[in-house]
Amino acid sequence: LFAALMLFLSVVFFGLSFVMGDLLKLPGYEWLYYSIMGMLSIALGTFGSVFNTYASLYLAKDNELLLAMPIPPSVILSTRMSLVLGMSLLYSGIVWIPAVIYAWLVTPFSLTAVVFDLLLIPLLALFVTVLTCALGWVVALISARVKNKSFLVVILSLLFFCGYYYICFNMNDLLQTVAANGEALGNGLKVWGNLIYQLGRGAEGAVLPMLLFSGITLGLFGLCFWILSKSFVRIVTKTPTVGKTAAKQRPIKSRGVKSALYRRELKRFTSSPTYMLNCGLGIFMLLLAAVMALVKQELIVDVLAAIGEELPEILGILPLTILSSVCVIVSINTISTPSISLEGKNLWILRSLPVTGRQVLEAKRNLHISMNVWPALLAVAAVSFAMKLEPVTAVLIGVYVCAFVWFTGDIGLVVGVLRPNFQWSNETMPIKQSLNVVICW
């Protein structure tokens, strides 16, 4: 499935290369095509691997175990960085390889250009690795000094998501602007983005720019590895700072078994940025859909009126459309699916408590339901209000959504019980690199 997805993305970017192919016809500005596709390759590579870098480098569960062995930290770091390099190579390659293949098909090329284009595949991956490792290093330094670091990472990641998808949704306008102002953009890159300019010239077959880009990239990678190797042990073993607070006498409230287990699951979910981003991103999307439905209410009414005039039968399936859209977003939130595997080596703690297995599983399911059902109902209410649906119809949609949330929570637990993985060294393995998540999607 993953190979099929990568092949599909390659075809998509080959089509994008066809759209940008007019830049190859600008006399003296053929390099601009390679520069723009190189920037897209770097952007996608960074976006695809940046969320794994921090967890892969600094949050691996066996870091302390490996550091206790007679293994140099640089060897441990090089192993971790090889995984980041692999992801960078994958995501940047699905943009760059179709781009150069298209250029070879439509323009004359030399043997030198072909060799340089192929050499740029690993060089772009190294450049992306430098960017993602630098971002991961900054996040690690901030996280070591911030108390609520999980929410900080989530907020920064969501801002990155919003910027990325804003560019994606406005890609056609951006491409038209680039095509119409190719020469001006090229002159700007020569001044403000000279490294990208050298990349484009090197892809054309120019030897000196290729050597310059290669030297800078390799130098940055070496500098990045040296800095990370010097701070790796300090960041991995650093105890988060806790501010001084005055001691206060507070009464201790006893809690029931269900409440205590639920709070335990909630704390586990909110303490992991990787868990929240990969298994709870739909929560943010549901809240965003509710806000957009209220803000764009007039536009929605106008669109529905236009559709009603042309295709009045479409209005009869609006409730089904709302229901299916909300359920698709809810299905992104696979909170219960990795919850069992995430226990890892701490499974013995639950086994030693005076609780039943049913109570443990119910706590995991209740967290999934509570984190999904309220944003989903809010989205249903906002969209139903914007589309002026009947109250009975809106209530029925809400009932179906609640049933779907319950169903997805139970399915995630069933798959998690049947296919547990307690031997992971990085929490990204059960969260986003697991067949269990694919099944529940």
10-residue averages of pLDDT along the chain (441 residues):
82 81 71 86 81 69 80 84 87 90 85 91 92 77 63 70 68 62 65 81 89 93 86 69 58 76 87 82 88 83 72 74 88 87 80 84 90 91 86 91 92 88 79 78 72
Residues in the chain: 441
Cα four-point dihedral sign 68, 70, 72, 78 = negative
- In the three-class reduction of DSSP (H, G, I as helix; E, B as strand; rest coil), residue 250 is classed as coil
Q: Are the beta carbons of 342 and 275 closer than 8 angstroms?
A: yes
Give CA–CA dist 300/309, Å, rounded: 14
Cα four-point dihedral sign 143, 146, 151, 154 = negative
What pLDDT sits at residue 264?
87
Residue linked to tokens 């990085």: 426
Give CA–CA dist 118/281, Å, rounded: 36
The closest alpha carbon to 103, from 56, 51, 33, belongs to 33
This prediction has a pTM of 0.63
Show the tokens assigned to 368.
Answer: 């999934």
Give CA–CA dist 163/21, Å, rounded: 26
What pLDDT sits at residue 17?
81
Q: How many other C-beta atoms are found inside a 10 Å radius of the C-beta of residue 2?
A: 9
Show the tokens assigned to 399.
Answer: 């009932």
The identity of residue 390, as a single letter, is E
Give CA–CA dist 64/233, Å, rounded: 9
Q: Are the beta carbons of 268 and 430 closer than 8 angstroms?
A: no
Q: Are the beta carbons of 84 and 52 closer than 8 angstroms?
A: yes
Q: Which residues contact 112 (CB under 8 A, 6 or more apart)?
A: 205, 207
Q: Are the beta carbons of 63 and 76 closer than 8 angstroms?
A: yes
What pLDDT sits at residue 165?
67
What pLDDT sits at residue 119?
93
Q: How many other C-beta atoms are found inside a 10 Å radius of the C-beta of residue 310?
A: 7
What pLDDT sits at residue 32?
83
What pLDDT sits at residue 51?
64
What pLDDT sits at residue 26?
67
